[in-house]
């Protein structure tokens, strides 16, 4: 069961990733940002990520030192697709401990139901479609850490949970809450509980108060301004309650009886107190770290009662929620295909290129890449866009945006590549 579940997950997530890559599908600039980060690491440089803004130092944005572990993979295959396949492997790896514990505690039928509910969970599928993010590492660390702890494997569990602080700055609070949970379950674990609480809080404080501000142009933490209390807590209340309800269903309903459910609170707190509406919803990657927690809570609570009923609820909920994802990319990916390969190849001849979101990750390995929305006063050597997106020829748009004379050097598949000054002919 664990092997089958892991294999199915890896194939599903990898196929989705490859199809999105081939179609130049990108829901945000994030894959371009992380590709540029790895590209800098691979060159032995600090992560100056021009996609976020010319000269932007990504260490001043979030705290994710664990990402340096992907550098050898990027050396072997310098591509944004490498990051997406790495994420597929990390997500798939998290299936193994979940499926193993489910089979052991809930039997064959309950085990298969939990495994299916987890593999096809909306949190993981949406995260795959949102493409690579640093939380890819948190998902297996949580899955293995929780299962190891439940099985009494204290040292590996402590290591896995403790490593979460190097994935993203907010996860230190999740580590601290894990310390609280194990203390609530067993007062004899006070030593481990105190260690995790201190370790988690210390790293979050270090990241937010010292490390990130040291590299941030404003000397602060950009996301603190997005957190408010009364106003934002009540804003979008229906959406927030819906997301919370779907998480309860992912835990089979009965999962709320497990003390491990408290591990969801730090992530839900910053999301629901944040002023960004996307945080409140089930879309994107924000719920991926909650999926292993939901699955373990289900197993932990259902092992005592409702061994089949609770997993059945989770499986039905997962199937129903697939309609709220873009799983149809598996069979409709060609509808999103930009056919941009030739345009990208032409753009790679230039030292610097400004482009739209969907082309960023493809351009990063071959040229200095800027996003047209954050390029500021920097003037790139070339601009790659679609006239349909700007409502006029791209050379006119570039002249209005950057000044000077711009010339079309390539036109095809709906794209125009323009350069400042002429040394090529239209294709």
Identify any residues that bridge with 406 across adjacent strands, giving them in sequence order.
420
What pLDDT is attached to residue 423? Answer: 44
pTM, entire model: 0.94
**End-of-domain residue from the set 312, 331, 350:** 331
Is the domain of 318 the same as that of 350? no
Q: Are 221 and 211 in contact, with CB atoms under 8 Å apart?
A: no
Is the domain of 6 the same as that of 116? yes
Q: How many helices, marked H, and strands, marked E, lie in the chain?
A: 21, 5
In what helix (H) or strand (E) does residue 371 lie, and over which residues does it extend?
A: strand 368-371
427, part of any domain? no
pLDDT tens-place string over residues 76-96: 999 999 999 999 999 999 999
What pLDDT is attached to residue 38? Answer: 98
Give 3-state DSSP helix, strand, coil % of the chain, rounded to 5. Answer: 65, 5, 30
- DSSP annotation of 423: -
What pLDDT is attached to residue 273? Answer: 87
Strands 406-412 and 415-420: antiparallel
Q: Which residue has the tokens 């919803």?
A: 281
Phi/psi of residue 74, nearest 5 degrees: -70, -30
Q: Which residue has the tokens 């499926």?
A: 99
426, part of any domain? no
116, part of any domain? yes
CA-to-CA distance for 140 and 260, rounded, in angstroms?
16
Q: pLDDT category, 187, cuts 50, 70, 90?
A: confident
Is the domain of 40 the same as that of 141? yes
Q: What mean pLDDT comes out for the span 95-118?
A: 92
Residue 244's contacts (CB-CB under 8 Å, 6 or more residues apart) are: 268
Q: Helix/strand/coil (H, E, C) string of 52-120?
A: CCCCCEHHHCCCCHHHHHHHHHHHHCCCHHHHHHHHHHHHHHCHHHHHHHHHHHHHHHHHHHHHHHHHC
255, part of any domain? yes
Is the domain of 321 the same as that of 350? no
CA-to-CA distance for 300 and 396, rounded, in angstroms?
62
What pLDDT is attached to residue 227? Answer: 62
What pLDDT is attached to residue 266? Answer: 95
Closest C-alpha among 155, 149, 165 to residue 258: 149
In what helix (H) or strand (E) does residue 193 lie, and over which residues does it extend?
A: helix 190-205
407, part of any domain? yes
425, part of any domain? no
Closest C-alpha among 202, 238, 225 to residue 273: 225
Is the domain of 26 the same as that of 73? yes
Residue 405's contacts (CB-CB under 8 Å, 6 or more residues apart) are: 399, 420, 421, 422
Q: What mean pLDDT comes out for the span 131-153?
A: 97
387, part of any domain? yes
Residue span of the structural domain in which 302 resides: 1-331
pLDDT tens-place string over residues 251-279: 888 889 999 999 999 999 999 888 788 88
Phi/psi of residue 408, nearest 5 degrees: -75, 125
What pLDDT is attached to residue 385? Answer: 96
pLDDT tens-place string over residues 327-356: 888 998 888 888 999 999 999 999 999 999
Is the domain of 202 the same as that of 307? yes
Q: Is 152 left (phi over 0), alpha (psi -120 to 50) or beta?
A: left
User: Residue 180 burial by CB count (10 A; 0-12/13-18/19+): exposed, middle or buried?
Assistant: middle
Query: How many independent structural domains does the chain possess?
Result: 2
CA-to-CA distance for 285 and 345, rounded, in angstroms?
30
Is the domain of 279 the same as that of 403? no
Q: Which residue has the tokens 């130049």?
A: 24
What is the b/e burial string over 6-35, where b = at least 16 CB atoms within 10 angstroms of the residue's CB? bebbbebbbebbebbbebbbbbbbbbbbbb
**End-of-domain residue from the set 331, 363, 393:** 331
Residue 46's contacts (CB-CB under 8 Å, 6 or more residues apart) are: 40, 57, 59
Is the domain of 70 the same as that of 114? yes
Q: What mean pLDDT comes out for the span 129-139?
A: 97
In what helix (H) or strand (E) does residue 412 lie, and over which residues does it extend?
A: strand 406-412
Is the domain of 10 the same as that of 66? yes
Is the domain of 315 the same as that of 407? no
Is the domain of 313 the same as that of 369? no
**End-of-domain residue from the set 266, 300, 331:** 331
410, part of any domain? yes
Residue 185 has pLDDT above 90, yes or no: no
Is the domain of 344 the same as that of 324? no
Maximum average pLDDT range among 126-140, 215-229, 250-264: 126-140
Beta-sheet strand order (sheet of 382-385): 368-371, 352-355, 382-385, 415-420, 406-412
Residue 33 has pLDDT above 90, yes or no: yes
């Amino acid at each position: 069961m664990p092997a089958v579940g892991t294999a199915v997950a890896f194939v599903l997530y990898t196929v989705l990733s490859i199809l999105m890559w081939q179609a130049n599908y990108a829901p945000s600039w994030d894959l371009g940002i992380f590709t540029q980060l790895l590209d800098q690491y691979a060159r032995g440089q600090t992560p100056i990520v021009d996609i976020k803004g010319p000269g932007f130092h990504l260490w001043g944005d979030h705290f994710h030192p664990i990402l340096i572990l992907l550098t050898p993979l990027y050396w072997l295959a310098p591509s944004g697709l490498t990051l997406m396949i790495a994420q597929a492997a990390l997500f798939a790896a998290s299936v193994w401990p979940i499926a193993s514990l489910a089979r052991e505690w809930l039997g064959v039928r309950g085990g298969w139901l939990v495994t299916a509910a987890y593999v096809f969970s909306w949190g993981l599928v949406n995260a795959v479609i949102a493409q690579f993010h640093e939380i890819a590492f948190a998902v297996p660390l949580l899955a293995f850490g929780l299962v190891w702890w439940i099985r009494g494997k204290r040292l590996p569990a402590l290591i896995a949970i403790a490593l979460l602080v190097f994935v993203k700055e907010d996860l230190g609070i999740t580590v601290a809450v894990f310390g609280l949970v194990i203390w609530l379950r067993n007062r004899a674990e006070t030593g481990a509980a105190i260690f995790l609480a201190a370790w988690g809080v210390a790293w979050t404080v270090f990241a937010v108060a010292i490390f990130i501000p040291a590299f941030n142009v404003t000397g602060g933490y950009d996301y603190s301004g997005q957190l408010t209390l009364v106003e934002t807590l009540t804003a979008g209340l229906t959406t927030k309650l819906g997301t919370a309800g779907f998480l309860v269903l992912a835990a089979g309903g009965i999962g709320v009886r497990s003390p491990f459910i408290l591990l969801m609170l730090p992530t839900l707190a910053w999301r629901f107190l944040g002023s960004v509406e996307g945080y409140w919803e089930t879309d994107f990657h924000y719920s991926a770290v909650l999926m292993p927690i939901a699955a373990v809570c289900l197993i932990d609570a259902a092992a005592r009662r409702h061994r089949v009923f609770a997993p059945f609820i989770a499986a039905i909920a997962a199937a129903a929620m697939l309609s709220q994802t873009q799983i149809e990319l598996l069979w409709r990916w060609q509808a999103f295909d930009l056919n941009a390969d030739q345009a990208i190849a032409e753009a790679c001849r230039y030292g610097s290129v400004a482009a739209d979101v969907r082309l960023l990750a493809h351009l990063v390995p071959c040229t200095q890449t800027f996003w047209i929305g954050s390029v500021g006063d920097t003037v790139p050597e070339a601009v790659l866009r679609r006239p349909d997106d700007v409502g006029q020829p791209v050379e006119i748009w570039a002249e209005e945006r950057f000044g000077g004379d711009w010339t079309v050097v390539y036109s095809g598949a709906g794209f125009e590549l323009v350069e400042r000054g002429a040394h090529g002919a239209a294709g």
